[in-house]
């Protein structure tokens, strides 16, 4: 009898540990997705501002292009995430109906609206970094330098955070994110400058 109780207790403890691991895993995935979304917002908005600034360097034009990038990117991310998670939702509902005889456990289902809002928010948080950096600097060259510095710092931070959450090598991950961000800005700046210089 005592042995049976001990086994039951061990089974309960193991189930609780598994639930904790599962919860932590889900949370880590959400955080990692948020970091990636913020990184997307940071790189795409900064690249857009740098590209437009290569042709028209006044602060108003750069800020408007950055703001348009933030809104368009956040909407795109939200819609994409909503559609993706809703597809997953439909699949899981169908699977539950097959396995549980029509019974649906709503608490275990993903939330498309929550995922869409989180994705849009993460993108916006990243995108706001170059906007804030450029907002109060009138001199073009100084503004570009401030944007580069702010974006570099944010890229390193996002790379480090992504590496920690993904349990990847921190230095390699941070360097990869940083070089990728610099490359995106350089290519956008260079190509826009090239097209703009030919009067298009």
* Residue-wise pLDDT tens digits, 149-168: 999 999 999 888 878 877 77
Rounded CA separation 53/76 (Å): 23
Read off the pLDDT of residues 34-62 as tens digits, 9 standing for 90 and up. Answer: 888 899 999 999 999 999 988 888 889 99
Pairwise CA distance, residues 178 & 159, whole Å: 7
**pTM confidence score:** 0.79
Interval 3-41: pLDDT, tens: 444 444 444 444 444 444 445 455 566 677 788 889 999
What percentage of the chain has pLDDT greater than the value 70? 83
- Between 161 and 131, whose confidence is greater? 131
pLDDT of the residue at 131: 95
Cα 53 to Cα 45: distance, rounded to the nearest angstrom:
12
Which carries the bigger pLDDT value, residue 120 or residue 17?
120
| Maximum Cα–Cα distance across the chain | 88
Q: Which two tokens stand for residue 121?
A: 């928010």
Mean pLDDT of 102-106: 77
Backbone Cα Rg of the chain = 23
- What average pLDDT does the chain have? 83
**Alpha helix positions (H), the chain:** 2-55, 59-99, 112-135, 140-166, 170-197
Extents of the domains making up the chain = 32-198
Give the C-alpha separation, 99 to 178, whole Å. Answer: 46
Instruction: Return d(Cα 78, Cα 122) in angstroms, integer.
Output: 10
């Amino acid at each position: 009898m005592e042995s049976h109780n001990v086994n039951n207790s061990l089974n309960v403890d193991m189930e609780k540990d598994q639930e904790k691991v599962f919860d932590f895993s889900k949370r880590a995935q959400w955080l990692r997705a948020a970091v990636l979304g913020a990184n997307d917002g940071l790189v795409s908005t900064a690249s857009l501002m740098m590209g437009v600034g290569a042709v028209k360097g006044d602060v108003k034009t750069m800020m408007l292009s950055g703001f348009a990038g933030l809104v368009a990117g956040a909407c795109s991310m939200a819609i994409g995430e909503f559609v993706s998670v809703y597809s997953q939702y439909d699949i899981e509902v169908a699977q539950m109906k097959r396995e549980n005889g029509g019974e649906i456990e709503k608490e275990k289902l993903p939330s498309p609206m929550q995922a869409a809002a989180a994705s849009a928010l993460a993108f916006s948080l990243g995108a706001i970094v170059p906007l804030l950096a450029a907002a109060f600097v009138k001199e073009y060259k100084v503004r570009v330098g401030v944007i580069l510095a702010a974006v570099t710092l944010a890229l390193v931070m996002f790379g480090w955070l992504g590496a920690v959450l993904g349990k990847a090598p921190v230095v390699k991950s941070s360097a990869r994110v940083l070089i990728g961000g610099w490359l995106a800005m350089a290519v956008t700046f260079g190509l826009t400058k090239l097209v703009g210089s030919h009067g298009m």
